[in-house]
């Protein structure tokens, strides 16, 4: 799995960083404004648990878009230093959108989210109940309408390794698939998988 880099505009969004603890290969940068003299214990505790995989970036002087400029600088720096990584900007500010559009040409390698919990990958890692696991699988399939596993074996292997990072056992994976079939989101004929319903019918 690619290194997942999270750059958090803490003036703009104050998320709990604990979901990032689920990822093995991760880097978290929290950008703190000059007026933010106190940080909540949950954030400090989560960052401490991440150890060397976490870093604070303090913006020393106030100014229009000062924190945005710091975040953009570090995003560009890390894009050069970590060409294989995927970058998540956690912010509600739309000023980042043109920069991300530029970074994503020709290959998509960055995205912006309003909250850390909105990141699909983290949602999958936190899916503990069967309904959550089914929902995470549906979202994953919707994200790739032209690149879905075409057989039952491929789908089970992909869910096990790529979607849930081997957190779920074989029985749970098959129960997730059974729920998808029950909801008519897919049908299995022999080994062949056909997608339909809300997923739309797509030839794979």
Domains in the chain, start-ordered, CATH in brackets? Answer: 4-119 (3.40.50.20), 127-199 (1.10.10.10)
Which long-range contacts link 178-183 to residues 24+ away (Cβ below 8 Å)?
Answer: 179/130, 179/134, 180/134, 180/137, 180/138, 183/134
* Paired tokens of 72: 């953009």
Q: Is the confidence at residue 73, as pLDDT, over 90?
A: yes
The pLDDT score that the predictor gives to residue 25 is 86
Q: What is the mean pLDDT of residues 97-121?
A: 90
Bridge pairing between strands 192-195 and 186-189: antiparallel
pLDDT at 21: 62
Written as six digits, the tokens of 55 are: 């870093």
63-72: buried (b, 16+ CB within 10 Å) or exposed (e) per residue? eeebbbebbb
Full-model pTM: 0.73
pLDDT for res 201: 38
Reported confidence tier of residue 202, pLDDT bands at 50, 70, 90: very low
Neighbours of 107 (CB within 10 A): 8
Q: Residue 90 is inside which H or E element, if any?
A: strand 86-90
Question: How high is the pLDDT of residue 102?
Answer: 95
Query: Which whole number is the average pLDDT over 158-178?
Result: 89
Considering 60-69, 80-89, 116-125, the range whose residues carry the highest mean pLDDT is: 80-89
pLDDT band, very low/low/confident/very high, at 180 (cuts 50, 70, 90):
very high
Mean pLDDT value across residues 175-195: 92
- Judged against a pLDDT cut of 80, whether residue 204 lies above it is answered with no
Residue 12's nearest CA partner among 70, 77, 76 is 70
């Amino acid at each position: 799995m690619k290194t997942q880099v999270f750059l958090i505009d803490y003036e703009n969004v104050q998320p709990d960083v604990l979901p990032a603890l689920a990822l093995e290969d991760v880097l978290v940068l929290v950008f703190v404004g000059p007026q933010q003299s106190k940080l909540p214990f949950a954030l400090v505790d989560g960052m401490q648990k991440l150890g060397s995989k976490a870093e604070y970036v303090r913006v020393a002087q106030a100014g229009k878009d000062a924190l945005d400029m710091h975040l953009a600088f570090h995003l560009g720096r890390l894009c050069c230093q970590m060409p294989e990584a995927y970058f998540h900007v956690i912010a509600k500010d739309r000023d980042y959108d043109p920069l991300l559009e530029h970074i994503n040409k020709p290959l998509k390698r960055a995205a912006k989210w309003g909250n850390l919990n909105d990141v699909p990958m983290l949602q999958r890692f936190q899916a503990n109940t069967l309904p959550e696991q089914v929902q995470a699988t549906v979202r994953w399939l919707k994200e790739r309408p032209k690149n879905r596993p075409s057989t039952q074996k491929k789908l089970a292997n992909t869910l096990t390794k790529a979607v849930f990072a081997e957190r779920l056992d074989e029985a749970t994976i098959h129960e997730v698939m059974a729920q998808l079939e029950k909801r008519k989101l897919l049908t299995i004929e022999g080994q062949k998988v056909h997608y339909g319903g809300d997923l739309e019918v797509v030839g794979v």
